[in-house]
Amino acid sequence: MKRCLIWFRRDLRLQDNPALAAALGAGAEILPVYIHGENQVAQLSEGGASKWWLHHALSDLDSQLNELGANLHLIKTSAIDKALFALVQELNIDTVLWNRRYQPAAIELDQEIKKQLVDEGIKVKSFNASVLNEPHTISNKSGKPYQVFTPYWKCSRETEVPAPVEINLSSAQWAKAEGIALKDLGLLPEIDWDKAFYDNWEPTREGAVKRLKEFSKQSVSEYNDERDMMADDGTSKMSPYLHFGQIGVREIYHHLRNAGDEVMHGYIRQLYWRDFAHHLIYHFPHSVEKSLRPEYEQFPWSHSEEMVQRWRKGQTGYPVIDAAMRQLWQTGWMHNRARMVVGSFLVKHLLQDWQSGADWFWDTLVDADLPNNTMGWQWVAGCGADAAPYFRVFNPLLQAKKFDQEGEYVRKYLPELANIPGSAIHEPWELSEIELLAYGVKLGETYPARMIDLYEGRDRALEAYKEFKELNK
């Protein structure tokens, strides 16, 4: 290995990066490259909020490289394979290294590119940088992929998780080439809807490490008790950093592995849910676009654009749903409990297809992640692996009263209801005209009237699901 190209994708870090470690170990001259594909299939492109994050993550990676006397070579193209191949030839690259991806379309593309490069005599090597256990390494006793989390977890946690890869950059040698400027990737929005993102996130490697340290010092031991409280900062908010690979999941695992059983069975278990999502998407590639359980493709969704729009805009008339949808729009993130509640409301109470929810999350989440988003939505809709049973319909009012007892979460995102005290904020329709007047609320004007009756919606969903189950017995 004399001159090697490191193709960065969802591993935007210099630490714990096995592809980089291999190049350094071989003493090769290294060209760090990021290729932004235009007009790609949906799986390989980013939604608006993720593009924002990606811009900053690339800028940060480039700054870290600049400090070492290198830079991130950027390319924008509609033909990734051709662009990569042209660069390899132009710069006499003899080896291409990357860390593996697991989305079905990415696997296909990577295999194709590998074949083309190898046919031309270029060495290609790939590594695992983003999961605790790769999807193909875990199977049940009959050699089949798991579809239920608990046995999956039991099996996968028996495998020792390798320590993060040591990186020594002190004697690195770098190759350089003329690329395009970051702004020319066109990742930042033209209209500044992203203003609040800057107050909520530090989308850098330093931000990831800082957040992990804070979380492990202040919250991880209370994670099991606090993780469902929507107003609290009880979860790690590592999801966008993990998605873009600014921190490695093995780094997090090893940082916390000795924190005790409670952390292992609480927080670390969630990291295995993330692995499980990769496992599912790898073994059931059709589940990216269609329900994992194929019969659900025939489910009689009611397809109402108007309902979906009200849900997306946080105008349903149910404060906890609307607060969550506005949290998503304003900050690019939504609390996990809220994701389950708004998801259930969309697919069950409103009987809208899970894909219309998944698409909106894809566009608005900074942590939009194909494996996790697909598994999350299919769990909610009951059409995936280890999914919620069809009769589980979250009651948003009960959820709100349990996980946002004093209404703090709702008050934060729905200023038009903020004067309503305590948990009364969850049911403004129960207040008298005089109370509403005193709190400055006019239902149907300053805040929308409820778009459906909860009990009617629930009954309709149960009926539809039950009938569907009968038909598909």
Ligand X SMILES: Cc1cc2nc3c(=O)[nH]c(=O)nc-3n(C[C@H](O)[C@H](O)[C@H](O)COP(=O)(O)OP(=O)(O)OC[C@H]3O[C@@H](n4cnc5c(N)ncnc54)[C@H](O)[C@@H]3O)c2cc1C
- The reply on whether position 367 binds ligand X by CB under 6 A is yes
Helices 48-67/354-364 angle, 10° precision: 40
Tell me the per-residue interface mask from 435 to 464 with ligand X, x by CB under 6 A, - otherwise: ------------------------------
Query: How far apart (Å, rounded) are the C-alpha atoms in residues 207 and 227?
Result: 21
Query: How far apart (Å, rounded) are the C-alpha atoms in residues 441 and 280?
Result: 46
- The reply on whether position 377 binds ligand X by CB under 6 A is yes
Give, as ranges, the residues between 29 and 68 that touch ligand X (CB under 6 A). none
Which is nearer to ligand X, 81 or 202 (by Cβ)?
Answer: 202
User: Contact with ligand X (CB under 6 A): which of 23, 308, 368, 452?
Assistant: 368
Tell me the per-residue interface mask from 201 to 230 with ligand X, x by CB under 6 A, - otherwise: --------------------------x---
User: Contact with ligand X (CB under 6 A): which of 271, 351, 387, 461?
Assistant: 271
User: Contact with ligand X (CB under 6 A): which of 13, 101, 339, 349?
Assistant: 339
- Chain centroid offset of residue 408 CA: 25
Query: How far apart (Å, rounded) are the C-alpha atoms in residues 338 and 357?
Result: 13
The CA radius of gyration of the chain, in Å to the nearest whole number, is 24
- The reply on whether position 291 binds ligand X by CB under 6 A is no
- The reply on whether position 238 binds ligand X by CB under 6 A is yes
Query: How far apart (Å, rounded) are the C-alpha atoms in residues 233 and 90?
Result: 50
Residue nearest to ligand X (CB): 376
Which is nearer to ligand X, 62 or 404 (by Cβ)?
Answer: 404
| Residue 181 Cβ vs ligand X, minimum distance, rounded to whole Å | 29
Cβ contact 452:349 at 8 Å:
yes
- The reply on whether position 239 binds ligand X by CB under 6 A is yes
Closest residue by Cα to residue 259 from 221, 204, 310: 221
Cβ contact 107:288 at 8 Å:
no
Which is nearer to ligand X, 122 or 375 (by Cβ)?
Answer: 375
Q: Tokens 């592995």 appear where?
A: 257
Tell me the per-residue interface mask from 380 to 409 with ligand X, x by CB under 6 A, - otherwise: x-----------------------------
| Residue 192 Cβ vs ligand X, minimum distance, rounded to whole Å | 24
Stretch that binds ligand X, among 83-91, 150-158, 375-383, 422-430 (CB under 6 A): 375-383
- Chain centroid offset of residue 303 CA: 25
- The reply on whether position 365 binds ligand X by CB under 6 A is yes
Query: How far apart (Å, rounded) are the C-alpha atoms in residues 172 and 161?
Result: 27
- Counting Cβ atoms within 10 Å, is residue 145 exposed (0-12), middle (13-18) or buried (19+)? middle
Name the DSSP letter for residue 418: T
Binding site for ligand X (CB under 6 A): 227, 235-239, 242-243, 270-271, 273-274, 277, 336, 339-340, 343, 361, 365, 367-369, 372-373, 376-377, 380
